[in-house]
Amino acid sequence: MTRITLKLPRPVDRTTPPKPLTSRARRAQQLGHRASTPVPQPPAAEPVKAPPARAPMHENPEDPRLSKLMSERGLCSRREADEWIENGWVRVDGEPVTTLGVRVPRDAKIDIDAEAKRHQGEQVTILLHKPVGYVSGQPEPGYQPAIVLIKPENRWAEDPSPLRFRPTHLRNLAPAGRLDIDSTGLLVFTQDGRVARRLIGQDSEVEKEYLVRVEGTLDEESMALLRHGMELDGVKLKPAKVSWQNEQQLRFVLREGRKRQIRRMCERVGLTVTGLKRVRSGGVPLGSLPVGQWRYLRRDERF
């Protein structure tokens, strides 16, 4: 028998072999691979924290607080001192202090930034002729505080100050002293802590002058008691200047301002006060300022 060998055709590979890449295609492929590969990023830097405000190195419990010392030196009020410290306007012995309540040596060198002095220079002091029936400070039931009278329409037409009224002049404006609801006369309002401290600070020696209309009789012994030696609420009063202005009116000059002081002093010697008017604070007189009107303190005036 004849063996016949059949040759079967090889299976055809229908997949087309890839064509060789050109140099440009190969370069593009490499770049694409690099772009898709995430590039490791350096760890994010933590935010830089500002160094804490530095307090004086010699702080100890026996030293006064910085705001109190600034007030005692007449630089500003304690409220202003706190504001300046928070604003970074105060340096103690060359170091900035922005922390409230720190204590410093009494002989510490305190420097104030020019910005604080500019801020202080913009503060105003206002003189009001308070009428009877208005309270000096916080409102009371049925009565208004005298500050409501400080508005453009009540400004004295003859005010010599060149300042123009601005609503900001009412911000933080406070009475520097009291005047009873049934008294009239000069009432000082100020934004300047130095003025307030001079007028009502514990060590204030500023004279306040009053004209007091009275009923009753007054002998020499009682007059001497009004001038010196009287006590109120267990506290001895400072010497006062008391004299007759006319037959019905006394002139008082005090260097303190206790609550209803003159009325209580007069009651002690048998007098009844029927009218009380403050006509001067330090070197600043009430003058011809009309009742219910106000003016700015001039730059040349000093309490």
What's the pLDDT at 188?
97
Q: What is the Cα–Cα distance from 130 to 121, expressed in whole angstroms?
A: 26
Phi first, then psi: give them for residue 261, nearest 5 degrees: -60, -50
pLDDT at 9: 55
Query: How crowded is residue 76: how many other Cβ atoms within 10 Å of its Cβ?
Result: 26
The pLDDT of residue 4 is 52
The domain made up of 66-120 has a fold known as: 3.10.290
CATH of 207-281 given 1.20.1050.10, 3.30.2350.10, 3.10.310.40, 3.40.50.620: 3.30.2350.10
pLDDT at 186: 98
Q: Where are the domains of the chain?
A: 66-120, 122-204+284-303, 207-281
User: Does 115 or 186 have the greater pLDDT score?
Assistant: 186
User: What pLDDT shows up at residue 164?
Assistant: 92
**Is the pLDDT higher at 49 or at 72?**
72
Question: Can you give the C-alpha Rg of the chain in angstroms?
Answer: 40
| Higher per-residue pLDDT: 233 or 21 | 233
Task: Give yes or no for a contact between 57 and 104, defined as CB atoms under 8 angstroms apart.
Answer: no
Q: Does residue 163 register a pLDDT over 70? A: yes
Residues 80-104: tens digit of each pLDDT? 788 889 888 899 999 999 888 899 9
Cite the DSSP H helix spans in 5-60.
23-36
Q: At residue 26, does pLDDT exceed 80?
A: no
Check pLDDT > 80 for residue 150: yes
pLDDT band, very low/low/confident/very high, at 170 (cuts 50, 70, 90): very high
The vertex-299 CA angle with 296 and 303, nearest 5°, equals: 80
- 13, 63, 82, 180: the catalytic one is 180
> Is 268 strand, coil or helix?
helix
Judge whether residue 120 has pLDDT over 90.
Answer: no
More confident residue, 207 or 172: 207
Run of H or E residues at 127: strand 125-130
pLDDT at residue 29 tops 80: no
Q: Could you read off the pLDDT of 208-244 as tens digits, one per residue? A: 999 999 999 999 999 999 999 999 999 999 999 999 9
Residue 180 is among the residues annotated as catalytic for this protein: yes
Does residue 57 carry a pLDDT above 60? Answer: no
**CA 274 vs CA 127, 181, 249, 250, 263: distances in Å:** 24, 13, 10, 11, 9
Lowest average pLDDT, out of 137-141, 177-181, 248-252, goes to 137-141
pLDDT at 5 over 70: no
Class of the CATH-defined domain 122-204+284-303 = alpha beta
pLDDT one-digit tens code per residue, 127-145: 999 999 999 987 778 889 9
Q: With cut-offs at 50, 70 and 90, classify the pLDDT of residue 156.
A: very high
Q: pLDDT value at position 35?
A: 47
Q: What is the mean pLDDT of residues 57-82?
A: 82
Q: What is the model's pLDDT at position 37?
A: 52
Percent of the chain whose predicted confidence (pLDDT) is above 70: 80
Written as one letter, the residue type at 128 is L
Task: Report whether pLDDT(8) > 60.
Answer: no
- Res 231: pLDDT: 93
Which stretch of 191-195, 235-239, 283-287 has the lowest confidence by average pLDDT?
Answer: 191-195
Question: What does the alpha-carbon distance between residue 28 and residue 22 come to, in Å, rounded to a whole number?
Answer: 10
Cα–Cα distance, 161 to 70 (Å, whole number) = 30
